[in-house]
Structure 1
Amino acid sequence: MTDDDLIRDIRAFNRAYTNRLGLLGRDYLNSPYTLTEARILYEIGAADAGMTAAALCATLHLDPAYLSRIIKAFRNSDLVHSRPAPNDRRSQILYLTEKGLTEFRTLGDRSDAQITEDLVRLDSEQLRRVAQAVTTLRRLIDPNMPAALPAPAIIRPCRTGDIGWLIEAQAIAYRRDQGFDHRFEGLVAQIAGDFLSRAPSPREACWIAEAEGERLGSIMVTEGDAQTAKLRLLFVERRARGLGLGRALVRTVIDFARAQGYRQLTLWTNDVLKPALKLYETSGFHLAKEEPHDAFGVPGMSQTWVLDLLGDAPADLAGASASATASAA
């Protein structure tokens, strides 16, 4: 997709959504207010300490004279009142009157109902996709959106549809960050496909790290033999790095492997993934073997790491955080 295509798609979405919400009419949400007037009521009502006209202009990018006319009309309708600012008697802080608060709550209820009308038609997977899309869009283009995750991440068992995301996410990330070619995507797809094609086993599992419906990471454990488990496809999205998700996913696999009676846990990775190697080392793994390879179009050293599951886990395994994407094929 070119930049021009993306711009056209965003403009088309804006037109469709503004029409759907009735943002261009004078009776926004079946009220006597325009969208701008309703938004001004919202900003004043949502600010517990009130708002100055200057703050409203800055927040909503409004012309001061235009805002002044709206505020005057609100005063005449008994929707707002003002008090001198305690630190500057020349500045007035705007508050909603009781009538204004009633209008503020009514508009909020109607807005919630309007959105609910669209969401009620969607199933749980569609709702998850909407939540993920909205969060991702805000995080990427809204400078006021916090960089951190909106809520603590959870680690849950893999569900239908997760494996497709896992393959796509890893292929894109490692192409972007490491320059790995199509053969890496083929390897991930093969590992994931083999996992899905086998009959479910209590000795194998896959988990997804997720926050507010957005998938952020993955890990898998498969059976090598009766005594050995394989840690595979460990991955954390770039925007979720440094939050401890990689370490939490590794901890999940180690606990699972011990509970299933495995004696060893092995993994295969690449020497270019320095943060991942540090994570494995501090998790108790030791480097067992390495050899040159360029299987993904980038020369490097392939490495096999091993963890003895009969020993004690390192004391820092639960407390320290992974600092970057970690991958184990």
Structure 2
Amino acid sequence: MNLPETPAQVDPLQVRALRAFNRFYTQRTGLLDPYLDSDFSLTEVRVLYELAHHAPCTASDLKRRLLLDAGYLSRIMRRFGAAGWVTRSRSTVDARQLALSLTPEGRAVFEPLQQRSRDEAARLLAPLPAAQRDLLVTALARAQSLLESPGTPTSHTAVLRDPRPGDMGWVVQQHGELYAREYGWNSEFEALVAEIVAGMIRQHDPVHERGWIAELNGERVGSVFVVRKSETEAQLRLLILSPAARGLGLGARLTDECLAFARAKGYRRMVLWTNSNLTAARAIYAQRGFVLEHSEPYRGYGQDLVGETWALKL
């Protein structure tokens, strides 16, 4: 059995190479400057990110994910609480702890920072040809995997990419399989999704519409799409996650990508249609300010269901 080397045994040339990359990366990304030209530290923005994408979560969850000192985190949370950015409620998992979530005001503070971060990442990637961007993303995922501490859970960083040929067939398949297995819906639903997908492909407007495929370790695990309903209104469609991708905040991340795209394109409102029994998806929509506008019982896919229309003013 090969025992791990001690720090003193590591080749100094390898240490020098890693430090050189760290200096290069911090300079290119501006990590030594005020973060994203805001009044926040990098750590504070990381806390906001966790609250935006993994809420509700406890202070213990935040400490574990971000490796933060308890006192430092407490000071950050006091500041966020005094500003009205965080809400606290009794945890449904452990009644001894408080579950933390962003308020609408907190989300309004975080979303512009998130968009600026996306823009900065896009600025770094834009000069590279598409093939080289794919190589870089794969290399980064490999580096993260190699640097994970032995015995700790993998962080499961997902890659969101544009749809490719064959992906839309996978979207139909996933809807058919998952909704049959988890909700007992019959093939009528798969037929409906196939019709929606066919229409989206035939009528796709690349300027005003976009879709994302989520991957974990090179495997497709999720999708979501923004389609144009009018000059001022967009529709969120076909949000789905495979069981392997749940609990990672990926549904929230996909939804946030849709909202950021819609806002950037000047849409004033986003709508979506869902069903009352899809509780996980409905929670994601509600946390982002979507409001239930209309509901109606109906018989479909072999079940008695309640269809719902949700909307968000952008």
What is the TM-score normalised by the length of structure 1?
A: 0.49
Matching residue within 279, 282, 297 for 1:277: 282
The answer to whether the Cα contact below 8 Å between 2:159 and 2:216 also exists between their aligned partners in 1 is yes
State how far apart, in whole Å, the 2-side matches of 1:201 and 1:151 are: 30
**Does 1:257 pair with 2:262?**
yes
Q: Which amino acid aligns with 1:276?
A: A
Stretches of 4+ moved more than 3 A in 1?
A: 146-151
Superposition pairs of residues 1-329 of structure 1, within 5 angstroms: 44-45=1-2, 47-48=3-4, 151-309=156-314
Counterpart contact for 1:155–1:207, Cα < 8 Å: yes
Distance of 2:288 and 2:214 partners within structure 1 = 19
SS at match of 1:294: strand
Contact 2:156 2:248 in 1 (8 A): no
Which structure has the greater CA radius of gyration?
A: 1
What fraction of aligned residue pairs are identical, expressed as a percent?
38
CA shift for structure 1 position 201: 2.6
Contact 2:225 2:258 in 1 (8 A): yes
Paired residues of 2:299 and 2:305 also in contact (CA < 8 A): yes
Q: Is the contact made by 1:149 and 1:240 (CA closer than 8 Å) also made in structure 2? A: no
CA contact (8 A) 1:154 1:210 kept: yes
Structure 1 CA distance for aligned equivalents of residues 309 and 285 of structure 2: 11
Where does structure 2 lack aligned partners over 5 or more consecutive residues?
Answer: 6-130, 132-150
Q: Distance in 1 between matches of 2:239 and 2:166?
A: 17
Aligned-residue offset at 1:200: 3.8
Cα distance in 1, alignment partners of residues 282 and 163 from structure 2: 25
Q: Distance in 2 between matches of 1:248 and 1:193?
A: 25
Q: Give the superposed CA RMSD.
A: 2.2
Distance 1:149 1:202, change over 3 A: farther
Deviation (angstroms), 1:149: 6.0
Give SS of 1:299's match: strand
Are the counterparts in 2 of residues 149 and 211 from structure 1 also a CA contact under 8 Å?
A: no
TM-score by length of structure 2 reads 0.52
Sort the Cα spacing of 1:231 and 1:286 in 2 relative to 1 into closer, same or farther, 3 A: same
Q: CA deviation at 1:158?
A: 1.1
SS of structure 2 residue aligned to 1:168 = helix
